[in-house]
């Protein structure tokens, strides 16, 4: 009996066993019939579904947790204020988001440079010196004018760039040591 794992689609992460049963559907193609009675078109092999030679080699994707059809509400955007980020991501439909949210995290220091609209430095300095709470008022003004979504995108991009620049350094050091 062979083992397969779905890597894309609604069943991403699902592991199925196949005993070699094939069902031919005229005009559509051949379907692999799995032990759980689910099936997959042969054309999906190596794209949506992969054969796993050893069960220790499974691709770490979360098993799908389908809801009964009557409990599936229509798609809509909902802002979850009180739920932790992991719970918010779990509600998203993307298997990639689930995989990333469930992965082991490491604390990493990221130096970030942001692009933001700001008043002239000299004007801010004069106002801060001219008023008793000038610095506080300027900080509040700057804070009120920041576009949080844009800053989040910039921070995410910096984290992405930091992750890949540190990987390249490690690869270069490894290559240098073996030479």
Q: Report pLDDT digits (tens) over 13-24.
A: 888 888 888 888
CB–CB of 22/33 below 8 Å? yes
The Cα–Cα gap between 169 and 78 comes to: 41
What does the pLDDT look like over 113-139, one tens digit per residue? 888 888 899 999 999 999 999 999 999
Give the global pTM. 0.39
What local confidence, expressed as pLDDT, does residue 172 receive?
Answer: 47
CB–CB of 59/50 below 8 Å? yes
- Token pair, residue 143, equals 């804070």
What local confidence, expressed as pLDDT, does residue 72 receive?
Answer: 54
Identify the segments of the chain with pLDDT beneath 50: 62-64, 78-80, 82-83, 89-90, 169-175, 177, 179
Question: Which residues, 6 or more positions from 52, have their beta carbon under 8 angstroms from its beta carbon?
Answer: 3, 4, 5, 15, 58, 59
What local confidence, expressed as pLDDT, does residue 80 receive?
Answer: 46
Question: Which residues, 6 or more positions from 174, have their beta carbon under 8 angstroms from its beta carbon?
Answer: none
Q: Which residue, 112, 113, 119, is CA-closest to 145?
A: 119
CB atoms within 10 A of CB 16: 21
Beta strand 49-52 with 39-41 is unpaired
Task: At 178, give phi and psi (nearest 5°).
Answer: -80, -15
């Amino acid at each position: 009996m062979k083992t397969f794992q779905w890597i894309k689609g609604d069943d991403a992460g699902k592991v199925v066993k196949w005993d070699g049963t094939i069902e031919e559907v005229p005009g559509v193609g051949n379907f692999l019939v799995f032990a759980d009675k689910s099936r997959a078109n042969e054309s999906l092999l190596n794209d949506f579904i992969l054969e796993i030679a050893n069960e220790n080699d499974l691709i770490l994707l979360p098993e799908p947790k389908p809801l009964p059809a009557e409990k599936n509400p229509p798609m809509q955007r909902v802002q979850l204020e009180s739920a932790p980020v992991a719970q918010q991501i779990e509600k998203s439909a993307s298997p990639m988001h689930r995989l990333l949210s469930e992965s082991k995290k490491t604390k990493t220091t990221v130096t970030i440079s942001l692009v933001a609209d700001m008043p002239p430095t000299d004007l801010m300095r004069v106002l801060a010196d001219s008023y008793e709470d000038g610095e506080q008022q300027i900080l509040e003004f700057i804070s009120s004018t920041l576009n949080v979504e844009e800053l989040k995108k910039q921070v995410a991009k910096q984290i992405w760039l930091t992750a890949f620049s540190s990987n390249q350094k490690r690869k270069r050091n490894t290559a240098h040591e073996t030479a």
